[in-house]
Structure 1
């Protein structure tokens, strides 16, 4: 048990040493604009290479992007919109759903081609 504890502590130390300390990051550029009609825009950048920007109309629409480097070194580029259709992100790092199986697509096509008569329940 003692050896297991030592191994666990050693692994934690290695993990913490490999993490980059970004607490000293500073904002290198910043712009923000808010208009009387509710539209706005902003952008910022930091010394640790985080870049973000967004434009929109308060409560109705927003579109923007964020770029940064993930802790594993992978560059992340996320673009998004938010409107009456909800939040819609896009980026190569986001998981994608598996394709819809052919038998499901055929079943949906059949249902669409053969609509079900509406049933009226007795009261």
Structure 2
């Protein structure tokens, strides 16, 4: 009988834990905006019940020209599983995408230019010469 009661409690505890995990997975959206315009520009934003906020907007630049490109800017904030607030910003355009955020790794500083190369660069700058004409 004791084994049956222990097994019953284990089954109830497992079912309760699964129900709690299932509830944690569903996070309702409390506000949302979607705007898409005929010219291709857009605005999008949402906020969820757990405090996650995301927004972005974009559009076409230099329309009809050779360097026409889509540009998108946006940001998002949320809390990591460790409880750390995260803020991320981005911009994407013709030169690629750039992300900004305190949580992102930072590249080490570039090494110094060796003295011999620095002297060579200074000498070249002080003694400019015309490029030789190409031979036909």
TM-score interval (norm. to shorter):
0.5 to 0.7
Tell me the SS of whatever aligns to 2:25: coil
**Structure 1 residues 1-123: aligned runs within 5 Å:** 21=21, 22-57=24-59, 60-103=70-113, 107=117, 110-111=120-121, 114=124
- The CA RMSD measured in Å over matched residues stands at 3.3
Q: Say if 1:100 and 1:27 are closer, same or farther in 2 by CA, change over 3 A.
A: same
Shift of 1:110: 4.3
Tell me the SS of whatever aligns to 2:113: helix
Q: Distance in 1 between matches of 2:49 and 2:97?
A: 28
The TM-score, its normalising length taken from structure 1, stands at 0.68
The TM-score, its normalising length taken from structure 2, stands at 0.62
> Could you list the runs of 4 or more consecutive aligned residues of structure 1 that deviate by over 2 angstroms after TM superposition?
103-115
Shift of 1:114: 3.3
Unaligned ranges ≥5, structure 2: 1-16, 61-68, 132-136
Q: Distance in 2 between matches of 1:62 and 1:24?
A: 29
Max Rg structure: 2
